[in-house]
Homo-oligomer: A and B are copies of this chain.
Amino acid sequence: MKVAILGTGLIGASIGLAARRWLGARVAGHDPDPGALEAATRRGAVEPMSSLEEAAAAADLAFVCAPVAAIPEVAAAALDAGARVVTDTGSVKREVVSLVEGGGGAGRFVGGHPMTGSERSGPAGAAAGLIDGAAWALTPTGRTDPQAAVAVEEAVRRMGAVPVRLSPERHDRLVGLVSHLPQVASTALMATAASSTDEAAMLLAAGGFRDLTRLAASSPELWVEILLANRDAVREAIEAYGDRLRLLGAMVEAGDGKSLSRAFLEAKEARLGLAARPQARLGVAILAVPIPDRPGALAEITAALADRRVNIEDLEIVHSAEGSRGTTHVTVGEGEAEAAIAALAEAGHEAAQLT
């Protein structure tokens, strides 16, 4: 099997690593930036090719990992160069898919979007593990060759991701809601607080505020491109969010504690339901472990798990709205939960399984 990676940044290089490891594929890569191609090659993610055409020629599957605006052109070139099936990794799908299909690419092109990423950027931060367990949206249309869709789906699944089939429109509406809206909400919250002329505002900002505004530190360039490419869905999501805020605001103004309690309880239950499925990954368990206030407490917790070779999938310190210290939520594989709890108990930490 030959896989082509067209664009060897963080996502492209990660797919290259996963394709080598899990598909046993020969992976040819190209990037218009020679530095990115060289770094991905050094990282072991691709075999470097001097042109897009050379990389795509006779590829069973080509991944277009370019910025959203460049995807239609790169996808068309890959199809022309002889790639049998082409997919992409862009954060928005309706415009991209319609441009590729309109440009003669209907049939062998399948829109895609792995719901993954990292604080790091560029091929140096690449890892096959970035894909493992991530939801991976695929957006074939009525014009897509069913065989092509199955081929991409199969490759995605074998690389450890969870394929989710959606229409391009549905994909864009959903990421508008669960990915683009949170970014806008975070940026708006930071801007609202920062616009206070009271210097004490930031002095009183505790853990909850920090959690909510963390995304506001994301790359403006990246996000402006995404938001503008998904204009309708983002506008719709912001409106729905604004309506919900107004509703809560009206309850506060009216002193309507009963409605407010109901709304807060419903949101609480929805959030607790979500915690059972972090990053859409199945088969994980979340353990809550209180953190004692002394040096080395976290080290004891993580070492106890490392000693048993339990992989920590995720770890977060959960703060209350006004709190600083907190409880650790440790995500481990479902099959390892029992061993993890036993290991923690032995080390003197009482863990409770949340899911």
Contact = CB atoms under 8 A, between A and B. Distances in A.
Copies, count: 2
Interface in A139-192: 162, 164, 166, 170, 173-175, 177-179, 181-192
Interface string A219-244: 01101100110010011011111101
Interface string A330-354: 0000000000000000000000000
Contacts of A118: 320, 323, 325-327
A113 to B, nearest CB: 9
Interface residues of A, number: 140
Most B CB within 10 A of own CB, among A223, A224, A227: A224
Q: Which 7 A-B pairs have the closest CB atoms?
A: A129-B293, A296-B306, A117-B323, A220-B264, A299-B302, A299-B306, A194-B270
Given A119-B323, A299-B305, 12 more contacts: A115-B206, A116-B322, A117-B321, A119-B319, A130-B325, A174-B201, A178-B205, A185-B185, A194-B266, A217-B275, A218-B321, A296-B309
Contacts of A221: 261
Interface string A101-132: 00000000000000111111000010111101
Contacts of A25: none
Contact of A295 (B164, B194, B298, B312): B312
Contact of A200 (B170, B193, B275): B170
12 contacts: A119-B327, A125-B290, A181-B193, A182-B208, A211-B211, A220-B268, A234-B249, A281-B324, A295-B312, A296-B305, A297-B312, A299-B299
Contacts of A261: 220-221, 224
A271 B185 contact: no
A246 interface: yes
B196 A174 contact: yes
Of listed A234, A288, A315, A325, residue having the most chain B CB within 10 A: A325
Contacts of A246: 238, 242
B290 A120 contact: yes
Contact of A271 (B166, B214, B297): B214
B315 A314 contact: no
A50 interface: no
A1 interface: no
A198 interface: yes
Contacts of A270: 190-191, 193-194, 216
A267 B120 CA distance: 20
A349 to B, nearest CB: 13
Contact of A322 (B91, B242, B266, B310): B91
A177 B203 contact: no
